[in-house]
Copies of this chain bind each other. A is one copy, B any other.
Amino acid sequence: MIGGDAAGGSAASQAKKRCPELDVVMFERGRATSYSACGIPYWISGAVGNEKDLIARTPEQHRQAGIDVRLRTEVTGIDLDRRTVRWRDSEDGDEGDEPFDELVYATGSVPMRPPVPGIDAGGVHGVQVLDDGVALRAALDGDVRRVVVVGGGYIGLEIAEACRVRGLDVTVVDMSPTPVGTFDRDVGELIADAVRREGIELVLSDAVEAVDVGADGRARGVVTASGRELPADLVVLGLGVRPDVRLARDAGIPLGGSGGIAVDARMRTEVEGIWAAGDCVESRHRLSGQRVVVALGTHANKQGRVAGINIGGGYATFPGVIGTAITKVCNLEVARTGLSTEEAEQAGYAFVTAAVDSTTKAGYFPGASPIRVKMIAERRSGRLLGAQIVGREDSAKRIDALAICIWNEMTVDEVLSLDLSYAPPFSPVWDPVLIAARKAFQAVEDDIRELVTD
């Protein structure tokens, strides 16, 4: 295994479990295994009290399962002919070669860094691995008042909110006209409202052109393309990530068109005996048919499990993704699945949309809170292509129901007849999801009628 986080850790566990006679060696660059990178923002905000809470499986637990864990040991090269990996211990500088029969490439991702002047200055932080989180938290404990977050996607907003919770002045810069650009614009507006209400400043449709570096070599703000100067004691990069494929490229393990490592459904690369899983691979999007890179712990765990089962002599496949994502932005819950309108267009679908506002419980029930459900349905067929949910508590997790509808290629007409649960403390008698399906079905019908009338 190269990498001991979600994908590598899962693959190692499964392979060893299925086939105990395997010698499993796990190289991990960092000092922790199987931790929740997604939990870092909540540890920074203080919602999660202890760094240790983020560790799902410690090196000791892996070792007890019979896995040879090499921490702080970086793999520096893969020799496909000799079937060895070159490693270096980052503590004592030792180096060596480790032979393998089967190799799992699970290097994860690297944070995107805009190639602008000053980006490597002191006071510019990433939030990719646990050590980044430790460094950022230590910095925030110092004399910091103003923070600029570069990137208004999931991770950018989560970090912005964490800093705001700590009482700091926070500005988020993003190139898109609304934050979390993977949502439709109308949903993005609601996200922007929630973020601003929390006292976070948003600089949208603008990009960071340079980090302003002081005489001490530390960042003291950023300058944007539109000429704005945003002073800051600390700059955090929350631009998202790209697959870490350096070693693979050097070794000649083929990449796919999306930039991730190309794998089949069993997580085999195109090189015999080399497997890959997690943020570094590309997955099949079940709606667009395209290969996409989606860096999410939930996929990494599943893919690692699949690779491990296959290596251990079993049979398992990873059937692809449909773009499900969820986040909490201040008081707002937002989630999406399938294609956004923009993605649906790019994928060549003709579609209609429908959005409804409802409540999470029966309207008369105490604690009922607003929820908006938006659906994207294919013209003519009525097939559900995508959905987005925004609302207060108890809203966003309902996206799973729609993700499963999309997974099963249901039409909105079929969706509206589903036997979903109902009781006043849990939903109106017509569940918001079903009301949205009714309205989407209406839109599909109206569209067909127009065709006939024309």
Q: B-contacting residues of A (Cβ < 8 Å)? A: 6, 36, 38-39, 42, 47-48, 50, 53-54, 56, 154, 296-299, 301-302, 317-328, 333, 335, 337, 362-366, 394, 396-401, 403-405, 407-408, 410, 414, 416-427, 429-431, 433
Chain B residues within 8 Å of A405, by CB: 404
Task: Give 8 A-B pairs besides A6-B429, A323-B419, A326-B426 with Cβ atoms closer than 8 angstroms.
Answer: A298-B419, A319-B417, A321-B419, A333-B426, A394-B397, A401-B403, A404-B404, A408-B408
Q: Which residue from B42, B422, B423 sits with its C-beta under 8 Å from A424?
A: B42
Chain B residues within 8 Å of A410, by CB: 408
- For A39, A317, A322, A425, the residue with the greatest tally of chain B CB atoms inside 10 Å of its CB is A425
Residue of B nearest to A441 (CB): B316
Chain B residues within 8 Å of A54, by CB: 364
Q: Are A422 and B297 in contact (CB under 8 A)?
A: yes
Q: Are A427 and B318 in contact (CB under 8 A)?
A: no
Q: Are A364 and B421 in contact (CB under 8 A)?
A: no
Residue of B nearest to A336 (CB): B421
Given contacts A36-B362, A39-B424, A365-B42, contact A301 B419 (CB under 8 A): no
Residue of B nearest to A318 (CB): B417
Q: Are B328 and A298 in contact (CB under 8 A)?
A: no
Chain B residues within 8 Å of A302, by CB: 416-417
Residue of B nearest to A406 (CB): B419
Given contacts A53-B364, A56-B429, A364-B53, contact A326 B400 (CB under 8 A): no
Q: Closest Cβ of chain B: how far from A224's Cβ, in Å?
A: 29
Q: Are B400 and A421 in contact (CB under 8 A)?
A: yes
Q: Which residue from B39, B53, B365, B407 sits with its C-beta under 8 Å from A47?
A: B365
Q: Which residue from B397, B408, B422 sits with its C-beta under 8 Å from A404?
A: B408
Given contacts A36-B364, A364-B36, A424-B36, contact A403 B429 (CB under 8 A): no
Q: Are A326 and B423 in contact (CB under 8 A)?
A: yes
Q: Which residue from B317, B403, B430 sits with its C-beta under 8 Å from A298?
A: B430
| 16 cross-chain CB contacts under 8 A | A36-B364, A39-B424, A42-B424, A48-B364, A301-B429, A319-B417, A322-B419, A324-B421, A397-B398, A400-B400, A400-B401, A400-B418, A400-B421, A403-B420, A404-B404, A404-B418
Chain B residues within 8 Å of A418, by CB: 400, 403-404, 407
Q: How far is the CA of A449 from the CA of B21 in the complex (A)?
A: 20
Q: How far is the CA of A407 from the CA of B435 in the complex (A)?
A: 19
Q: Are A362 and B417 in contact (CB under 8 A)?
A: no
Chain B residues within 8 Å of A328, by CB: 423, 425-426
Chain B residues within 8 Å of A38, by CB: 362, 422-424, 429
Q: Closest Cβ of chain B: how far from A293's Cβ, in Å?
A: 14
Smallest CB-CB A-B distances: 8 pairs: A53-B364, A326-B421, A298-B422, A408-B408, A404-B404, A400-B401, A328-B425, A324-B419
Given contacts A408-B404, A423-B326, A423-B328, contact A365 B39 (CB under 8 A): yes
Q: How far is the CA of A429 from the CA of B57 in the complex (A)?
A: 13
Chain B residues within 8 Å of A323, by CB: 419
Chain B residues within 8 Å of A421, by CB: 324-326, 335, 337, 396-397, 399-400, 403
Chain B residues within 8 Å of A337, by CB: 419, 421
